[in-house]
Structure 1
Amino acid sequence: MTFYKQRKPHHFLAVSCLAFAIASTCTTSFTAQAQNNAVYDALSSGSVFADFRLRYEGVSQDNILEDANALTFRTRLGYTSGDLDGWSFTVEMEDNRIALGVGDYTVGPSGFNPGIYSVIADPEFTELDQGFVQYKKDGFTAKIGRQVIAFDTHRFVGHVGWRQDRQTFDAASFIYAPNKDVKVQYSYLDQRNRIFGEDADIDAKDHLLNASYQTELGKLVGYAYLLETDIETSNALDTYGLSFNGSQDFDGIKLIYGIEYAKQSSKTDLVDFDADYLFTEFGATFSGVTAKVGYEVLGSDDGNYGFSTPLATLHKFNGWSDQFLSTPILGLIDTSVTLTGSAFGGKWLAVYHDFQADDGNDVLDDYGTEINLQYVTKFAENYEVAVKYADYSSDGFNTDTEKLWVWVSTKF
């Protein structure tokens, strides 16, 4: 009995330790199993998505270049995981191929048929379009990796989704939206992945800040876009601006209005330029038709520098013939009239542009005019077919240009 009483504490300790070890092992096993299940659930609940577009583009210019014709097929395939404690990831690949041998066009940055045909900026490529990790919780979102970034109308920062290779950025983005009316986003860009595959990507040190507040009358936006390519010399391009856009209904008529102003400075080791940006728009929707008048000024610094928007979805602005992808040093004034409506189950759009220099001279003052036409309709739910046309008539700037697009696309 004495022996038993002396040994009991030790026996109890041994059993307790054994029980604790077994419990710990089981708990660890259960925890690991739970974590494995959570990871599996996040992966299995993810979504696969795809986007396909077959497009013909034809370009005819009144110059020595041969007319261009391109039939290209663009594919995007991607996967977004489910949520795991606020974490998720997205991977998306993109590919573009010439279809049926219709590839008589030039893509300068990729070295494809240089100097032979008019330019169609859709090279053949296969690349990572997006690949990022995201954390999202309580109105806060952080996203790190290759990603699409687009602000507001895409006038200053966009994805250039019109081209077969859209623009993305290697970036870290942080978004705070405490409610549905307020949103603040900051992004740091390490690389600009442009529309030419990997042949013209640009290393960068860009800072993008955009803050918006939705009011009853419209959305107020303030922004600062501080751009710099990562090279050995100074090349700052800083833009600060404000915009306000909204609409109101009055007795069955919807009034549309907007105004935007920005100030830009461009500084290098040798030069220091300043230019202003102004955009105003007014329109109305009645009887199913929307009519808008726009007035946009990309200012000039005494005829030496034109206001620049290198990260914009440029094709969307100043005419689809793409005469003003780079603002002339004399600046640009674009006065436009836009009509949109519906017909035969689809949507039509017509735009007239009148282009003038902001700081014209006796040699060049009027740039020319342009007409844009488009019709888009959907069928079988997920399919879209469309035709689009641009006709630029030069008045001394560049050359007369006609462009035609026909495409069919689907996404799911």
Structure 2
Amino acid sequence: MQHTKLQQKTITISLASLFCSTFSAAPMAESVNDIFTDTHAKIDMRLRYESVDQDNALKDADALTLRTRFNFITGSYNGFSAVFELEDSRSVLGLDNYNNGNGSKSDYSVIADPETTELDQAFLQYINADFRVKLGRQVIALDGQRFVGHVGWRQDKQTFDAVSAIYQPLKELKLTYAYVTQRNRIFAEQKDIDASDHLLNAAYITPIGTLTGYAYLLEADNGSDNGLDTWGASFAGQSQWNETSVNYRFEYASQDADNGASSFSADYLAAEAGINLAVVDIKLGYESLGSDKGQYGFATPLATLHKFNGWSDQFLSTPTVGLNDVYASIGGKVMGGQWNLIYHDFSADKASSTVDDLGNEINALFSKKLDDHFSAGTKLARYSAGDAPAGKVDTDKIWLWLGASF
């Protein structure tokens, strides 16, 4: 399972050669003025209040943080362009009574928004009719971000130091590959991880839905023998009857994990169906992150985890007994905004004599775009613990935010 240094070097050299040969094949333009005249900048800000109340010895957490993101995109020169993005996150008005995930104020509950200023993205790209390649620090978000995402909910989003390529030889077929050398996680720079990750994804659009196959071969480059290989496929589509649409999605994946001393295998299964009516949207789903005999739970370390298994973030790491999540949601539009109500029921995939019921959770959301530049929202997560493993307790979280983009 472990990818050898020779293989990694060969792949890196091959990708670099492809990158350079692609660039050199592009015809030279008459002028580079367009690079400057077409360059534009964006600024995006989010002021957010978050509170956490847990039924344990930790102090209740409160945070008011402001995330500011400056994005610069150059004009294109014969298909070449560059993107630079700076990101800053600050506590506001001294409201910083929280554990930021890096060890500070550990007597408080965690709100994973450390203060930071960093280069969020910096990459060179080439784009033509059916091919796109990026080299540098970048966002990589595949499919619904269940396995690879940007964790955009947190103030410091996740990016990757990587070379990535998308090739679309047919309108219906898209092939994606990325080689990742560093995972820039949501905890500023303190918990970034050197890596040797290979991400492969192929999607084909059929008349009734999109069929996707993928292989995510992960390895932390920390001097130890480790590997996390996931192979899977999904099918998602939509059927339309007059003004009513039905959505459906099925997914299965198999995972092998190896830490040198031991190895494990686990399966992933998801099924979801939804109906979009004139007034409301209704969705029912089932997701299973399997367990290997109660000793290992299916892992998705690069995912946008907050999006799945409840917003209280109780299951950012899958318990060794695995996790089954049966959920239902209803949502719609009211007062010019979007509302959603979601219920989760959690249980162990491999129940033991002491752990079976992993609790339940209620999530609620209302968000609204105020005008072309401003938006606002609020959401709630209320988790009730069952026979949950150590550390899982009744938890309430509340968010209020105001966003601005120019």
Task: Check whether TM > 0.5.
Answer: yes
Letter in 1 for 2:404: T
Distance 2:260 2:29 in 1: 56
Q: Aligned pair 1:132/2:126, yes or no?
A: no
Q: 2:184 pairs with 167, 174, 193, which one?
A: 193
1:319-338 paired onto structure 2 within 5 Å: 319-338=310-329
Corresponding letter in the other structure for 1:173? S
Q: Decide which of 365, 375, 378 is 2:356's aligned counterpart.
A: 365
In the TM superposition, 1:43-122 aligns within 5 A as 43-109=36-102, 111-113=103-105, 115-122=106-113
Give the 3-state SS of the residue equivalent to 2:238 in structure 1.
strand
After the TM superposition, which residues 222-371 of structure 1 pair with which residues of structure 2 at under 5 Å, given as runs?
A: 222-371=213-362
Distance in 1 (CA, whole Å) between partners of 2:383 and 2:183 is: 30
1:197-212 matches, within 5 Å, as 197-212=188-203
Shift of 1:175: 0.8
Q: Which residue of 2 aligns with 1:5?
A: none
Measured after TM superposition, the shift of residue 396 of structure 1 is 2.5
Flag the 1:112–1:39 CA change in 2: closer, same or farther, 3 A.
farther
Aligned amino acid, residue 403 of structure 1: K
In the other structure, the counterpart of 1:12 is none
Alignment partner of 1:158 is 2:152: no
SS at match of 1:41: helix
Alignment partners' CA distance in 2, 1:343 and 1:384: 15
Whole-angstrom distance in 1 between the partners of 2:302 and 2:29: 42
Percent of aligned positions that are identical: 52
Query: What is the distance in 2 between the residues matched to 1:254 and 1:380?
Result: 29
Aligned counterparts of 1:272 and 1:36: Cα–Cα separation in 2: 54
Letter matched to residue 371 of structure 2? A
Answer yes or no: is 1:402 the counterpart of 2:379: no
Distance 1:410 1:181 in 2: 36
Q: Whole-Å Cα distance in 1 between the matches of residues 205 and 119 of structure 2?
A: 35
The residue number in structure 1 matching 2:7 is none
Aligned 8 A contact 2:342 2:362 in 1: yes
1:144 aligns with 2:144: no
Answering whether residue 209 of structure 2 is matched by residue 214 of structure 1, we say no
Rounded to whole Å, the distance in 2 between the matches of 1:233 and 1:72 is 37
Q: 2: CA distance between counterparts of 1:66 and 1:285?
A: 42
Tell me by how many angstroms 1:108 deviates: 2.9
- Count of aligned pairs: 376
Distance 2:264 2:64 in 1: 41
Give the Cα separation in 2 of the matches to 1:188 and 1:140.
Answer: 17
Structure number having the greater helix percentage: 1
Cα distance in structure 2, aligned partners of 1:366 and 1:189: 37
Find the aligned partners of 1:231 and 1:106 in 2 and give their Cα distance. Answer: 26
CA apart distance, 1:98: 0.3
Report the more deviating stretch, 378-387 or 400-409. Answer: 378-387
The answer as to whether partners of 2:29 and 2:78 remain within 8 angstroms in 1 is: no
Measured in 2, the distance between the counterparts of 1:181 and 1:384 equals: 35
Structure 2 SS opposite 1:281: strand
State the distance in 1 between where 2:238 and 2:193 align: 38
Structure 2 unaligned regions, length at least 5 = 1-27
Paired with 2:48 and 2:347, the residues of 1 have a C-alpha distance of: 32
Distance 1:83 1:36 in 2: 10
Q: Deviations over 1:121-166 (max 9, x none)?
A: 0000000000000011131111000000000100000000000000
Verify the 8 A CA contact 2:101 2:114 in the aligned structure 1: no
Note the alpha carbon deviations across 1:283-317, whole angstroms, 9 max, x for none.
11112211110000000000000000000000000
1:171 paired to 2:165: no
- Give the C-alpha shift of residue 319 in structure 1: 0.2
SS in 2 for 1:38: coil
Alpha-carbon distance in 2 for matches of 1:87, 1:351: 44
- Give the superposition deviation at 1:46: 1.3
The 2-side partners of 1:380 and 1:258 are apart by 33
Question: Aligned letter for 2:81?
Answer: S
TM-superposed deviation, 1:36: 9.9
For the residue of structure 1 that corresponds to 2:32, the secondary structure is helix
Give the whole-Å Cα distance in 1 for the aligned partners of 2:259 and 2:107: 34
Aligned twin of 1:16: none
Instruction: State the partner residue of 1:42.
Output: 35
Aligned residue in 1 for 2:373:
382
Distance in 2, matches of 1:409 and 1:108, equals: 24
SS in 2 for 1:102: strand
Cα distance in 2 for residues equivalent to 1:351 and 1:36: 53
Q: Aligned partner of 1:183: which letter?
A: K
Task: In structure 2, give the amino acid aligned to 1:112.
Answer: S
From the CA coordinates, give the structure whose radius of gyration is larger.
1
Do 2:327 and 2:343's aligned partners in 1 also have CA atoms closer than 8 Å?
yes
Deviations 1:307-345 (A, max 9, x none): 000000000000000000000000000000011100010
